[in-house]
A and B are shown apart, each in its own frame.
Chain A
């Protein structure tokens, strides 16, 4: 049995297939909270129409240009579903449930099942691929926004910036921190930047090196950096690793560092109610 014969059978029975397909999808249970019945019916009709046209024009090779409308339709549906929170099974079921009406039809016509099965499998695989690609896009977006969220640069005083670092540092993140800090230094014309590493769980040679790079870059621009919040274990690790911090000023806590910064800016705080 050729693909052309298959196409003929599909074309003649389009409405019957569609009806059964929709019925099966309803039985499988549609996510009424995410998609309404009408949208599902519309999607099914559009896809089936495009599918039959593609089989008629371009045979069973999905790389043919005739399949492009089906692919783009599937891509749109799968990515939308991955964003809306459908499970992979639900997305796959959409295409795979087409098998049942098609097979029933072919059995009546004594047609060959294997070609049709392979064709639908290919479509199923394609829709899964797109579904996962949609997921990956979401994950990547979240990663980026996390990266930006997790590296705030705050101004403590006119001329004093602070970067409270929380969580583990890798080269990617340090790069973001470095750029954000330097940019903020230019914007606010700050003389002193405090890098607080209270929330950094471990410091290894790489992290120390990244920190030193940031500090050197800030120094080149004319700002001084103070590191604060080095915990006892981390201090021990730094010495143990033999990391040379050079002439970098370190303070025990953010408040100590802030005091030093104010002193260097010649700012003196006095109590409002002198006794």
Chain B
């Protein structure tokens, strides 16, 4: 497959923007790629921008929630941003409410959410045990 969705690393976060029509193989590749990258960079947050995605089917919908679940297990917070109204309606009609996945209206708000949530966690852990050095990363 020549097509590949780029995953950008930015600090503790990974950014990925889906700007092509998702087909099934692409989604599978993306999932594999993303899990590897999360582990390699020990990322704390993943922001998935789907503002250019105009067509979804049940497979892609399921894939999105799958990606989010896998990321959560790897201790990275996931937020999906910029979903189009038509896509949202389609997912609801398909019965996929992506429960448990955070969403935001645009990349800016999504980033703010990540900053807030990831920082909250880190602060809490540092406060509770000051001896440990970057505790969350050792877990990976």
Contact = CB atoms under 8 A, between A and B. Distances in A.
A183 interface: yes
A213 B92 contact: yes
Interface in B87-140: 87-89, 91-93, 97-98, 103-106, 109-110
A221 B106 contact: no
Interface stretch (A54-62, A184-192, A233-241): A184-192
A217 interface: yes
B85 A221 contact: yes
A220 B90 CA distance: 11
A169 B88 CA distance: 21
Indicate the member of A185, A213, A220 with the most B CB atoms within 10 Å.
A220
Interface string B76-89: 00001111110111
B43 to A, nearest CB: 21
Contacts of B105: 185-186, 189-191, 221-223
Contacts of A219: 97, 103
A220 B106 contact: no
The DSSP consensus for interface residues of chain B is mixed
B83 A222 contact: yes
Given A216-B97, A220-B92, A222-B109, A182 B103 contact: no
Q: How large is the interface on A (under 10, 10 to 19, 20 to 34, 35 or more residues)?
A: 10 to 19
Contact of A182 (B80, B89, B93): B89
B89 A179 contact: yes
Interface in A159-201: 178-179, 182-183, 185-186, 189-191
Contacts of A191: 105, 109
A20 to B, nearest CB: 63
B106 A217 contact: no
Indicate the member of A178, A219, A222, A223 with the most B CB atoms within 10 Å.
A222
A219 B105 CA distance: 10
Contacts of A213: 92-93
A189 B105 CA distance: 6
A218 interface: yes
A189 B89 contact: no
A190 B85 CA distance: 13
Contact of B91 (A183, A186, A220, A222): A220
Nearest to B103: A222
B115 to A, nearest CB: 16
Given A182-B85, A220-B80, A221-B105, 13 more contacts: A178-B89, A182-B88, A182-B89, A185-B105, A217-B92, A219-B97, A219-B103, A220-B103, A221-B88, A221-B103, A222-B80, A222-B105, A222-B110
Interface of B: 80-85, 87-89, 91-93, 97-98, 103-106, 109-110
8 tightest Cβ-Cβ pairs between the two chains A and B: A182-B85, A222-B103, A222-B104, A217-B88, A220-B88, A222-B105, A217-B92, A221-B83
23 contacts: A179-B89, A182-B85, A185-B85, A185-B105, A186-B84, A186-B85, A186-B105, A189-B106, A189-B109, A216-B92, A216-B97, A217-B88, A217-B91, A218-B88, A219-B97, A220-B87, A220-B97, A220-B98, A221-B83, A221-B103, A222-B80, A222-B82, A222-B83
